[in-house]
Every structure is written in structure tokens, then in C-alpha cells.
Amino acid sequence: MSENKGEIKKMMIILSKATLENVYAAFVLANGARMEGIESEIFFTFFGLEAVHKKKMNSLHIATVGNPAMHIPTMVGGLPGMEALATSMMKKEMAKLDMPEVSEFLEILSDSGVRMWGCKLAVDMFHYKKEDLFEGVEEIITVGDFYKRSEGEGVHMLFI
Amino acid sequence: MEKVIAGKTIHVNEEGFMTDFKEWDNTIGEALAAENELSLSPRHWEVLTYLQNEWKNEVPLSIRKIGKSGVVDIKEFYQLFPKAPLKTATKIAGIPKPASCI
């Protein structure tokens, strides 16, 4: 941490989940970095790929089961329609805060210079093609490629 | 705290943002831009004027709103003010730093 007084130069964010709250967390962190003049990149892996899948990105849900902060009993959270209900409530609140939909947020990230990558292993596993993904995803790369991109001083890595 | 710039005394906070917009003028804007390694083109001025007007109308500023402003898109905004665009542009414009996370 002694290098440049610990100045953060680049955020390397790995998004492995497609629950809405995790996707937004990754996007806000990536965008927030760019707003502060910090470089940022996102590596979409496993379910995180759904956040950049053209057909899926705008129908992501928040998790109502296994999420104690929802303050609803797990069994109730598992009832049909609960996730959709909670998601639509959360989306309304987010709209009030001027939070964009996933697809629009991706455009903002891309225009702001956030570099985005798909994980090769996960893309192969889900049988996705590069064309299925948001255009801002530059390439499908391996974890090794991602580590290579993360070399340098002041680079921080974050797993979501 | 006080700061002398372009031959004038202005009041700024600890991050260098002006605390009294009435003290701001174009020469101060240019000097603040130079401190941020920028020289202002007519496009910069259009954006700065837009930001000042939004602030005067008490509209909270965010990257998303700027993208939809019709004045500048997000890509060009980052080209004009490459490092921390919203922070840098508001600082040069003499208005407070926006509290937005997006």
C-alpha cells in the first residue's frame, strides 16, 4: 500500500451473479470509478453473463430467498411471483433515484470508457456466442487474460 | 479558505470547489481549467454554461442526465474532461461538486 500513497488507478471488477442488486452494485462501482478518473473493467463470468446477455439483461430479478435483508420469511420469499413483486418494487425505488435500466446502464458504462469482457469458460458452459452479448463486451477472454490485464500499480480487484 | 487565482481572491472548500458562485467569472474559469491541465474550447464553454444553468435551477447533476441533456453525450463529455469529468467540469464552472453516485 505504500506505492503512490495507495492511490487507486484501476478497478478490476468480476461479476459472477445476475441478481439485480449485485449487477447494480458492480455497475455503480465501475461507473463511480470512471467518474473519479479511475480506470475500470468488468469481467462477466458464470451467471454474471446474464447482465450482458441481450435477451436477459432487462429481466433480471432480485433474490427474495436466502436474503435476510429482505425481512420476509424464506418460505414466503419462495412463493410464485414474490421475486417479480419485490423486483418491481425495487425498480420503482431505483427509478426515483434516477437509476437506469440494465441495458441503458451498460450504454453509460461503455460510453464512460468501462472496458468489458466475457469469461470464456462460462460462455462455453452456457453455450452463448459473442453475438448474444451486449456490443460493449469487447472480447471473450480467459481468466489468465484477465489477470494479465490487471497487472500494474494501484490496481484493485473486486469479486461480486 | 481563500485562494488567489487570475489576480482575484476566491473562496474554496478543501477540495478546491468554489463556495461562492458570485465570485466566479470566465477568467477564473480559464485559470481553474489550466490548473486541471485543460484549455477551454467553445464546446467546453457550452457544457460549462449548461452545468451552471442546471445548478442555478437546482437540478441535481449526474452523468446520466448529462447524457440526456442534448448538449453533450457521455462519450464527448469524457473527451472534453478526461479525468473525472463531472467533478472537473463543476469545479471549473465554479459550482458545488455533485453528490450523485451515477
Q: What is the pLDDT of residues A71-122, one digit of tens each?
A: 777 777 778 888 888 888 888 888 887 788 899 999 999 999 999 999 999 9
The answer to whether residue B101 is domain-embedded is no
Number of domains in chain B: 1
Please indicate, yes or no, if residue B100 is contained in any of the structural domains: no
Residue B48's domain comprises 2-93
Average pLDDT over every residue of B40-50 = 95
The ipTM value here is 0.86
Q: What domains does chain A contain, in order, with CATH numbers?
A: 3-63+101-159 (3.40.1260.10)
Mean pLDDT of chain A: 90
Please give the pLDDT value at position A19: 92
What is the nearest CA distance from A45 to chain B, expressed in angstroms? 24
pLDDT of A3 higher than 80? no
Asked if residue B102 is part of any domain, the answer here is: no
pLDDT surpassing 90 at residue A45? yes
Q: Helices B85-93 and B26-35: crossing angle, nearest 10°?
A: 140
pLDDT of residue A2: 58
Nearest Cα to Cα of residue B96 among B46, B61, B57, B63: B61
B87–A31 C-beta distance less than 8 A: no
Write out pLDDT tens, residues B52-83: 999 999 888 999 999 999 999 999 999 999 98
Catalytic status, residue B57: no
- The rounded distance, in Å, linking the Cα atoms of B31 and B80 is 16
Does residue B39 sit within a domain?
yes
**pLDDT > 70: percent of chain B:** 100
Contacts of A75 (CB under 8 A, 6+ apart): none
A111 chain-B contacts, CB cut-off 8 A: 67, 73-75, 78
pLDDT at A53: 94
In a domain, B99, yes or no: no
Work out the angle at residue A129's Cα, subtended by the Cα atoms of residues A128 and A131, and round it to the nearest 5 degrees: 130
